[in-house]
Amino acid sequence: MKKTPKVVNVSERAERESSFAKELLGPLVGMSVTFARMMNNVSGKIDATIRYPEERRAYSQRYRGAHILTARDDGTPRCVACYMCATACPADCIYIEPAEHPDPLIEKYPARFDIDMLRCVFCGFCVDACPEEAIIMSRETEICAFTREETLWDIKRLMSRAELPEFGLGYRPNAELVDSRVAVELKEIPKHTMAGRITLKEDAHMIRHVTFEPDKD
Amino acid sequence: MPKFTINGQEVEARDGQTIIQAAEEIGVDIPHYCYHPDLPIDGNCRMCLVDVERMPKLTPACATVVTEGMVVRTNNERVKEAVRGVLEFLLVNHPVDCPVCDQAGECRLQDYYMVYGLHTSEIPLGMKVRKRKVIDLGPMVVLDQERCVLCSRCVRFCDHVTGTGELQFFGRGDHVAIGTFEDRPLENAYSGNVVDICPVGALTSRDFRFKCRVWFLHGADSVCGGCSTGCSVRIDHRDGTIFRLLPRRNPEVNKSWLCDEGRMSFHALSTGSRIVQPKVKGPAGVPTAARWDEVIASINSRLKETAAAHGSGSIIGIGSASATNEALFLFKRYLSDRLGATRFEFRLDGEDRRVAEREDDLLRRTDKHPNSMGAMKLGLMDAELGGIEGAISAARAGRIKAGVIIYLKPLVARPGDDAAEARVAELVRSLEYSVVLAAHEADWQSAASVLLPIAAWSEEEGTYTNYEGRIQFAGRALAPDGGSRPAWQVFALLLGADGTEPGWTSPEQVFESMAESIPAYRNIARSQTRLPGVVIAV
C-alpha cells in the first residue's frame, strides 16, 4: 500500500510565530557572532591563517604521516622482515630483502627495507599488519625532494629521522603492547593558537582490541 | 569391501583401509600431523581422534582399519573438544615465531589453530621450554627444535624410505627434540623431502630460506626435467623467478618424494645467459640478430634448396631428449614431410641404453633427460647412421649438408655432459648449413648458420614420456624469456611457412595430431596425461 506523504506547511507556522523583535533583532544576534570573531582576529587573539612553514598545524595523535621503523635497545631494527606490511600494502610500495641474523632468537632481519613514498597512499595498513610494532607512523607531511630517487626511503632513512622531533609520532595503535622505541628524542611540540580547535572524540585506545570472529560452521 | 558410516554418510571402503584414508577419498578432512600416505603409521600426534560408536574412547583414525558396520563421527563436540585439547598441548611450548618462520602460510599448526583451536594461550613466552634454533643440517635442511610437534614423519622417512636413519628423538618429556647425532649433516640424496613432509616449521629448506613468503608464490604443475624418471613436481614462482620445486604426490611414479638434485635442478635454468633473439650468420661469419618471420622463411627456403640439390638424405635432424613430445613430433614432421629427410638422431651419450638404468633404489636414473623414451617412440633413432659420431663423419665427408639441431642442456649435471655438448658442437661445425635451437648461450653456437632461441623447461607446456613409457603433462610456469618461443611453435611456423597447412596454435592441437599419426600414442587423450599419467607399451 502506498503511503500518502504528510504535508507540513511551514509558511503558516512562520507567519504565526513571527514577531517584530524576531524580524529585526534576529540578524543582529547572528551578526554579534561575526563581530566577536572579527574582533578576535583584528586584535590578534586568534589566527585565521598560520604562517606555514614557520608554523604548522597540530595534527591529531593518530595522523598518518611518513613511516618510522622502530629500533631495539641496541639500535638495530625491530623489523624481522616478515612481509606482513608488504602483503597488506594496497599500493605495493614496500620492498623488503631479508637476511640471516647472527642471533638465532631473532633469526631474520631486513637487509633492505625500502618504501616508495611517492607510491604510498598513507593508509596505515602496514602499521596495523605489523606484529612487532616495527613500523609506525609520524605526523610528518613534508616528503619533498628534488629527485625521485630521494623519495625512495631506505632503512637508514626510515629509522633515523632527524626531522622527527619537529613533527612527532603519529598513528601507532599498539604502542602499549610492545617495548619498541624510536631512535630519536622527541621534543614537546609548540602549541599554536588556531582558528577552531581540533577535538578528538575517539582515541587510539578505542581501536586497539579489534577481534575477528572466525567463520562458524 | 566393508561398508561404514561416516558423519551420517554411508561409504564403501576398500579392504584394509584406515578411517583417515577412507575419509580422505570422500572429502572428509580429518586433522593430522603424523599420518602420511607414504610413510608407516605411527599414531603419535593424536590429532586424528574420531568417535567410533561402541568404542569406549576416541580412537585415532590413522591407525584404525575400517570394519563392516562401523559408525564414525569426526565432527561432534566430543571430537572437537579432544582435538582442541591436543592442539593446545602441541602449542604449549611453541615459540609462535610465525613472522620469521618460512613455513608460515602453509603450516598445519596455523591451519588447524584457525579451525579447531582459537584458544588463548595460557603460557607466556617466558615460561615456555626453549630449545635450540637455526641448526644447520647440511646443504638442504635447517632445523628449529622449538617449532617441532614431534610427529616423527622425518624420522620415519629417514628410517623407512631412504634407510639412512640420521634423524632421531633426543631427550625426555618436555625436552624431547628432533636431531641428528652430534648435529651431523643430513646428507642423503633425498634429504629435501623431510622439509616437505614436516607439517610445521621445524625443518625448513636451506635453499628457499627467507627467499619469499609462500603466499606470494604461484604454482604450476609440471614434471621434473632432471632425469628419465619424470617425477611430478610443482614449480613455485613469482614475478618470473622460480623459487622452488616441490614434489606432487603421484603414487605411480614418485609417491611424495623428489631427489635433491631434481629439487635444485631449476637453478640450472638461471645459470648462464639466455639467447634472446634469433641470430643469423652473416656473410662475414658474424652472427647478427634477425626477425623471426625472416628467419623462418630463410630456413625453409634454404633447407628446400639443399634437399633439391643434394637429395633428402643430405639433411639430418638431431632432436633433444629434453624437448617435449610436441616439439619433437613437429620437428620430425617438418623434416620428413616437407623436406623428405630420413636421418634422425637424438642420442648424444647412449640415452636409449641408459633410459631405464637405475642410479639408486629410490627414484634417480642415470639418463638425465626427461623425454628419452618419447624421442625413441617418435622414431628419432637411426641405426645405420651410427649415432652422432656417425653423423659427424658423414658431415665431414660431405654426405650430410644441412642439419636442424635442438640442444637443451641437461638440468642435472653429470661428467659426460661436456663431452656430449662437444659432439653437438663438432657436428654444427662440420655442417654446411646448420639450424640450432637452444635456450642458453654457448660459445660453439657462433658456428651455427641460424640460431633460434627456444623456451626452457619451465617455459613450455607439453608432455614428456618417462622411462616406463608414462606420458605426463607438464604445464608452463613462466613466459618464454626474451624473444624465445616454445620449440613446437618454431616447427609449427616452419610447417606453415609455405602457407599450405593451417598450422598448430596450441600444444593441445599438436598432441591431438600426434595421437592420430603416431602408433604408440594412438587413442590417448591429452586429459589422460594429467596425474598420474598414462602408460604406453615400451
B134 lies within 8 A of chain A by CB: yes
Q: Both A78 and A19 in a single domain?
A: no
Q: Is the C-alpha dihedral spanning B524, B525, B528, B533 positive or negative?
A: positive
B119 lies within 8 A of chain A by CB: no
Q: Both B221 and B367 in a single domain?
A: no
B97 lies within 8 A of chain A by CB: yes
Give the dihedral of Cα atoms B370, B375, B378, B380; nearest 10 deg.
170
Rg (CA), chain B: 27
* Nearest Cα residue to A66 out of A188, A196, A182, A204: A182
**Whether B279 contacts B290, CB under 8 Å:** yes
Q: What is the mean pLDDT of residues B494-510?
A: 85
- Report the C-alpha gap between B329 and B464 in whole angstroms: 12
Whether A80 is in a domain gets the answer yes
B80 lies within 8 A of chain A by CB: no
* Residue of chain A whose alpha carbon sits nearest to that of B98: A82
Q: Both A71 and A38 in a single domain?
A: no
Task: Among B39, B69, B90, give the residue marking a domain's end.
Answer: B90
Whether B122 is in a domain gets the answer no
Query: Chain B contacts of A80, Cβ < 8 Å?
Result: 99-100
Q: Both B386 and B438 in a single domain?
A: yes
Q: Both B58 and B134 in a single domain?
A: no
Q: Both B260 and B293 in a single domain?
A: no
Of all residues in chain A, what percent are helix, strand and coil, respectively (each to 5)? 25, 15, 60
**Whether A138 contacts A69, CB under 8 Å:** no
Q: Both A95 and A169 in a single domain?
A: yes
- Report the C-alpha gap between B161 and B154 in whole angstroms: 10
* Nearest Cα residue to B190 out of B243, B106, B264: B264
**Whether B394 contacts B423, CB under 8 Å:** no
Q: Both A119 and A22 in a single domain?
A: no
Whether residues B213 and A82 touch (CB distance < 8 A) is answered with: yes
The answer, yes or no, to whether residue A213 has pLDDT greater than 90, is no
The pLDDT of residue A210: 38
* Residue of chain B whose alpha carbon sits nearest to that of A134: B99
Domain count, chain B: 3
pLDDT in tens, B16-48: 999 999 999 999 999 999 999 999 999 999 999
Q: Both B312 and B362 in a single domain?
A: yes
Q: Both B173 and B224 in a single domain?
A: yes
Domain count, chain A: 2
The pLDDT of residue A44: 75
The answer, yes or no, to whether residue B515 has pLDDT greater than 50, is yes
Q: Both B310 and B377 in a single domain?
A: yes
* Residue of chain A whose alpha carbon sits nearest to that of B119: A214
Query: Chain B contacts of A81, Cβ < 8 Å?
Result: 100, 210
Length of chain A, in residues: 217
Nearest chain A Cα distance for residue B51, angstroms: 19
* Nearest Cα residue to B437 out of B292, B302, B338: B292
pLDDT in tens, B280-301: 998 888 899 999 999 999 999 9
Q: Grid coordinates in use for B112?
A: 588447524
DSSP string, B94-118: ----GGG-TTTTS-HHHHHIIIII-
Whether B528 is in a domain gets the answer yes
Which of B77, B97, B135 is the best residue to mutate to test the A interface, defined by the most A CB atoms within 10 Å of its own CB? B97
Q: Both A80 and A35 in a single domain?
A: no
The pLDDT of residue B386: 80
Burial group, residue B429, by CB count within 10 angstroms (0-12, 13-18, 19+): middle
Q: Which of A87, A108, A214 is nearest residue B100 as measured by Cβ atoms?
A: A108
- Report the C-alpha gap between B140 and B205 in whole angstroms: 6
Which of A84, A87, A108 is the best residue to mutate to test the B interface, defined by the most B CB atoms within 10 Å of its own CB? A108
Q: Both B316 and B447 in a single domain?
A: yes
The pLDDT of residue B312: 85
The answer, yes or no, to whether residue A205 has pLDDT greater than 80, is no
Task: Among A7, A28, A43, give the residue marking a domain's end.
Answer: A43
pLDDT in tens, B450-484: 999 999 999 999 999 999 999 999 999 999 988 99
pLDDT in tens, B54-73: 999 999 999 999 999 999 99
- Region at B323 (left for phi over 0; alpha for psi -120 to 50; beta for the rest): beta
Q: Both B317 and B196 in a single domain?
A: no
Nearest chain B Cα distance for residue A104, angstroms: 6
CATH of residue B222's domain is 3.30.70.20
Q: Which of B118, B132, B133 is nearest residue A107 as measured by Cβ atoms?
A: B133
Whether B103 is in a domain gets the answer no
In this prediction, residue B363 has a pLDDT band, given cuts at 50, 70 and 90, of very high
Whether A97 is in a domain gets the answer yes
Whether B183 is in a domain gets the answer yes
Return the exposure string of B116-151: e unless at least 16 CB atoms fall within 10 Å of the residue's CB, then b. Answer: bbeeeeeeeeeebeebebbbebbebbbbbbbbbbbb
The pLDDT of residue A135: 93
Whether B331 is in a domain gets the answer yes
Q: Both A76 and A150 in a single domain?
A: yes
- What is the span of the domain harbouring residue B84? 3-90
- Report the C-alpha gap between A85 and A92 in whole angstroms: 9
Whether A55 is in a domain gets the answer no
- Report the C-alpha gap between B391 and B393 in whole angstroms: 6
Q: What is the mean pLDDT of residues B334-346?
A: 91
DSSP string, B102-158: TTTTS-HHHHHIIIII-PPPSS-GGGSPP----EEETTTEEE-GGG-----HHHHII
The pLDDT of residue A182: 65
CATH of residue A109's domain is 3.30.70.3270
- Report the C-alpha gap between B136 and B139 in whole angstroms: 8
The pLDDT of residue B394: 92
Q: Both A83 and A121 in a single domain?
A: yes
The pLDDT of residue A216: 46
Whether A153 is in a domain gets the answer yes
- Report the C-alpha gap between A83 and A132 in whole angstroms: 12
Whether residues B99 and A104 touch (CB distance < 8 A) is answered with: no
Nearest chain B Cα distance for residue A80, angstroms: 6
Q: Both A130 and A92 in a single domain?
A: yes
Whether residues A82 and B114 touch (CB distance < 8 A) is answered with: no
**Whether B436 contacts B445, CB under 8 Å:** yes
Query: Chain B contacts of A133, Cβ < 8 Å?
Result: none
- Report the C-alpha gap between A84 and A127 in whole angstroms: 9
Q: Both B385 and B457 in a single domain?
A: yes
- Report the C-alpha gap between A188 and A171 in whole angstroms: 17
Whether B354 is in a domain gets the answer yes
CATH of residue B452's domain is 3.40.50.740
- Report the C-alpha gap between B533 and B513 in whole angstroms: 19
- Report the C-alpha gap between A209 and A19 in whole angstroms: 56
Whether A116 is in a domain gets the answer yes
Whether B114 is in a domain gets the answer no
Q: Both B231 and B265 in a single domain?
A: yes
Number of alpha helices (DSSP H) and beta strands (DSSP E) in chain B: 16, 23
Q: Both A148 and A111 in a single domain?
A: yes
Q: Both A95 and A189 in a single domain?
A: yes
**Whether B332 contacts B317, CB under 8 Å:** yes
B209 lies within 8 A of chain A by CB: yes
Which residues touch A208 (CB under 8 Å, ≥6 apart)? A173, A174, A176, A177
Task: Among B270, B290, B308, give the residue marking a domain's end.
Answer: B270
Whether A9 is in a domain gets the answer no
Q: Both A90 and A19 in a single domain?
A: no
* pTM for the full predicted model: 0.85
Q: Grid coordinates in use for B113?
A: 589453530
The pLDDT of residue A2: 64
The pLDDT of residue A207: 37
Which residues touch B278 (CB under 8 Å, ≥6 apart)? B289, B290, B291, B292, B295, B450, B451, B452, B453, B483
**Whether B276 contacts B484, CB under 8 Å:** yes
- Report the C-alpha gap between A137 and A161 in whole angstroms: 12
Whether B110 is in a domain gets the answer no
Q: Both B264 and B284 in a single domain?
A: no
Q: Which of B99, B114, B216 is nearest residue A84 as measured by Cβ atoms?
A: B99
Q: Grid coordinates in use for B84?
A: 582442541
A95 lies within 8 A of chain B by CB: no
CATH of residue B36's domain is 3.10.20.740
Whether A163 is in a domain gets the answer yes
Q: Which of B99, B133, B134 is nearest residue A82 as measured by Cβ atoms?
A: B99
User: Strand pairing partners for B12?
Assistant: B3
Task: Among B90, B118, B145, give the residue marking a domain's end.
Answer: B90
> Which regions of chain A does DSSP assign to beta strands (E)?
67-69, 94-100, 108-116, 135-137, 152-153
The answer, yes or no, to whether residue A208 has pLDDT greater than 80, is no
- What is the span of the domain harbouring residue A22? 15-43
Q: How far is CA A117 from CA A67, A94, A148, A159, B428, in A?
A: 9, 9, 9, 15, 54
Burial group, residue A98, by CB count within 10 angstroms (0-12, 13-18, 19+): buried
Q: Both A23 and A121 in a single domain?
A: no
Whether A50 is in a domain gets the answer no
Residue A184: phi, psi to the nearest 5? Answer: -120, 155
